[in-house]
Amino acid sequence: MPWRGPDHAGEFPTLGWAVGEWIEEYCVIPDGDRVGSPYRLTDEMWTFLAHHYRLKPTADSGQRAPAFSYRRSQLVRPQKWGKGPFSAALICAEAVGPVLFDGWDAAGEPVGREWPTPLIQIAANSEDQTANVYAALQPMIELGPLADVITDTGDTRINLPNGGRIDPVTSRARTRLGQRVTFVVQDETGLWTVTSGMVAVAETQRRGLAGMGGRSVETTNAWDPSEDSVAQRTAESRVQDIYRDHRMADPRLQYKLKADRRKIHRTVYGDSAGRGGWVDLDAIEGEAAELIEKDIAQAERFFGNRITAGTGTWLERAVWETRAAPEELPDKPRVVLGFDGSDSDDWTGFRAETLDGYQFTPTYGPDNLPTVWDPAEWGGQVPRLEVNAALDDLMARYDVVRMYADPPYWETEVDTWADRYGEKKVVRWYTQRTAQMHSAAERLLTDVTKADSTFRHDGCPTATAHIGNARKAARPGGRYVLGKASLTQKIDLGMCSILAHEAAGDAIAAGQAKTKRRRARGF
C-alpha cells in the first residue's frame, strides 16, 4: 500500500526516524568523559535525518528513479558543534543500517533495508582533515555493539560485510576518486576550492554516486564568499533536490559586541550547548575573542556560523610601500627567483631577490621588458615561449642560485627547467600546501614589518597592487593561505614575492650567500 498520508500539517514520509533509532541503538560516543556510552541525537540532528532521508509520497520500492526527495544534503554548523561524530554515525548507518527505501508496510509506514555492498568514502582536502571524521568512526564501531558486525577497522580503511568498505580520500587519491560509491561524507567543503583541486573531487564523487543511486552529505563551517568554494556553490545552487541546513542568528546582531556575540553563539550552537550538551559557551567566547584580535571575519565564520568575507588584509599596502628603495645592481648579482604561473586568467611572473634582502621584478631581452604577463594582453593565453625565453635570459643575466616555482599549469615547463638548470637550482614549491605556504607568507610579512629588517624592494607597481589585494584565507590549525576578495583581483606577483623571499631565506640557511673562494693552482 502507499504512504498512509500526513497525521498533521507539514508531515512527510521519511526513513530518518528509523535511521535515527538505529543510530541510538548501535552507535556509541567515541571520546570524552562519556566514551562508550550510547550516542544520543539532539533535536537538530533528528531534524536533519528526517529531511535527508525524506521520501517521495508516491515512491515505489521497485522504481528505478530515486525514492528520496533530496539527492544530497548540506549541514553548516560552527566549530565544536559535533559534525565529526555525527558524520561518523551517519557512516555507520549507511554501512549496515536501514538506509534504503524498501516499500511501505501494512500501516503505510516506510520500510528500510541495508545496502547489499556499501561503498563509502570520507573526503577532505587533506589527510589530517579526513581524520576529523575517521578518528570518531573507529571507536564508535570498536567500543559498541557494531564491533560484532564490523570486525575489520584498520587505520586507513574499514572493511564491511559483503565486500563493502569505508575509505578516507583526498584529492591525491585519483584512482579511488573515480570509483562508484553509495555514500560520501564531504568534510569542510567551505575549504574546497578550484585551486586546491577539491571542486573536481566533489564533481567526480557525485558522478560516482549517480552511478550507484547513492547520496552524499556535506558538512562545513560557514565559508568565505570570496573563495567560490564547494560549500558556497551548493548553497547558491538553484536546484531543488539539495537539502540545506544552515542555522543562523539574527543578522542585526553585531559580532564585535560581546553581548551580541553571546546571543549569536547561543543560537548557532543550539542543542550542543544546551542542557546535556558538550559545548562550553564560555570557552567558545574565549576562543572567539582571541581570534577577533587578528581576524574578526574568520572568528565570525568559525564560531558565529556566518558567511563573511575574509576582510583581514595579509600585508597593508602602505606598509609595503615604506620598504620601497630602488637601487642599482652590480653586474651579474647573486639572486634567487620566485615563479608563479597561470594559463588563461591569472597573471604569470617572476620576482627576484638578492641575498642581502633587495627584491625586484627583473627584466629580460634587449628591450628590458618586465617579467610579468597578463594573459588579457596576449590574446587570452600566457605566452609560454616568451616565459621560457625570459627565464633563459634571467639565468644568463644573473647568478641564480635557487628558484622556487609553483608547478600547477606549468608542470612540463618546470620539469624542463629543472632538467636544464639542475634540480638543486629549480625547486618545485607547491603554494597549495597549507603549512609551508602559511610559514612562507609569515616570513615575508615579518621581514617587511619588523623595525630592524633590512628588507627593501624596487617599488614595482604591479607587485605592490597584488600584495595589497591579498587576503588571509583561513585554514585549520590557525593557519592561512592567501586569497583574493573578488575574482577580478590579482595577487600573482605577491605570490612570486613570497616564493622569492622564501628561496632567499633557505639559500642563506644553506650557506649560498657566502662568496665562493677560488683555490690557487699549485705545482
Q: What is the full DSSP assignment across 372-387?
A: EE-GGGGTTS--HHHH
CB 472 within 8 A of CB 212: no
The identity of residue 381, as a single letter, is: Q
The answer to whether the CB of 401 falls within 8 A of the CB of 507 is yes
- Is 3.30.1340.30 the CATH classification of the domain at 16-246? no
- Hey, where are the domains in the chain? 16-246, 258-304, 317-509
Cα-based distances in Å from 1 to 56, 67, 107, 198, 216: 14, 15, 8, 44, 29
d(CA 179, CA 145): 30
Write the single-letter amino acid at 271: D
Instruction: State the first-to-last Cα distance of the chain, in angstroms, to the nearest integer.
Output: 106
CA distance 452 to 71: 58
Alpha-helical segments (H) within 148-295: 174-177, 198-212, 230-236, 258-269, 281-292
The single-letter DSSP state of residue 55 is B
| Positive or negative: CA dihedral 130, 132, 134, 135 | positive
Q: What is the pTM of this model?
A: 0.64
Neighbours of 491 (CB within 10 A): 24
Closest Cα partner for 448 from 429, 468, 419, 432?
468
Q: What are the DSSP E strand ranges found in 5-139?
A: 72-76, 100-104, 110-113, 119-123
Cell matching residue 408: 600547477
CA distance 172 to 347: 26
- Measured CA to CA, the distance from residue 182 to residue 196 in angstroms comes to 25
CA dihedral 471, 473, 474, 480 (to 10 degrees): -80
Say which CATH topology domain 317-509 has. Nucleotidyltransferase; domain 5 (3.30.420)
Rounded distance, CA 351 to CA 362, Å?
A: 6
The burial class, CB within 10 Å (0-12 / 13-18 / 19+), for 63 is exposed
Beta strand pairing status for 158-159 and 165-169?
Answer: antiparallel
pLDDT of residue 521: 45
Rounded Cα gap, residues 447 and 492, in angstroms: 20
Strand pairing report for 358-360 and 119-123: unpaired
Alpha-carbon span 361 to 341, nearest angstrom: 15
Asked if residues 187 and 260 have their Cβ atoms less than 8 Å apart, the reply is no
- Provide the β-strand partners of residue 403: 337, 426
Q: How far apart are CA 497 and CA 360, in angstroms?
A: 9
Using DSSP's 3-state secondary structure scheme, residue 433 falls into coil
Separation CA 273–CA 258 (nearest Å) = 18
Cα-to-chain-centroid distance, residue 24: 31
Specify the residue for cell string 571524521. Answer: 133
Mapped onto helix, strand or coil, the DSSP state of residue 519 is: coil
In one-letter notation, the amino acid at residue 300 is: E
Position 62: which residue type?
Answer: G
Residue carrying the nine cell digits 528500510: 112
Q: What is the pLDDT of residue 519?
A: 47
430: left (phi over 0), alpha (psi -120 to 50) or beta: beta
pLDDT truncated to tens, each residue of the chain (523 aa)?
689 899 999 999 999 999 999 999 999 999 988 999 999 999 999 999 999 999 999 887 665 556 999 999 999 999 999 999 999 999 999 999 999 999 999 999 999 999 999 999 999 988 888 888 999 999 999 999 999 999 999 888 999 998 999 999 987 766 677 788 999 999 999 999 887 888 999 999 999 999 899 999 999 999 887 677 899 899 988 899 999 999 999 888 889 899 999 999 999 999 999 888 999 999 999 999 999 988 888 899 999 999 876 656 788 777 898 899 999 999 999 999 999 999 888 999 999 999 999 999 999 999 999 999 999 899 999 999 999 999 999 999 999 999 999 999 999 999 999 999 999 999 999 998 999 999 999 999 999 999 899 999 999 989 998 998 888 888 888 889 998 866 667 999 999 999 999 999 999 999 988 765 544 444 2
Q: What contacts 139, CB < 8 A, 6 or more positions away? A: 28, 30, 31, 35
Q: Let me know if the fold of 16-246 is the same as that of 317-509.
A: no
d(CA 383, CA 388) in angstroms, rounded, equals: 9
Q: What would the grid cell of residue 37 be?
A: 556510552
Distance CA 26, CA 122 (A): 20
The pLDDT score that the predictor gives to residue 520 is 43
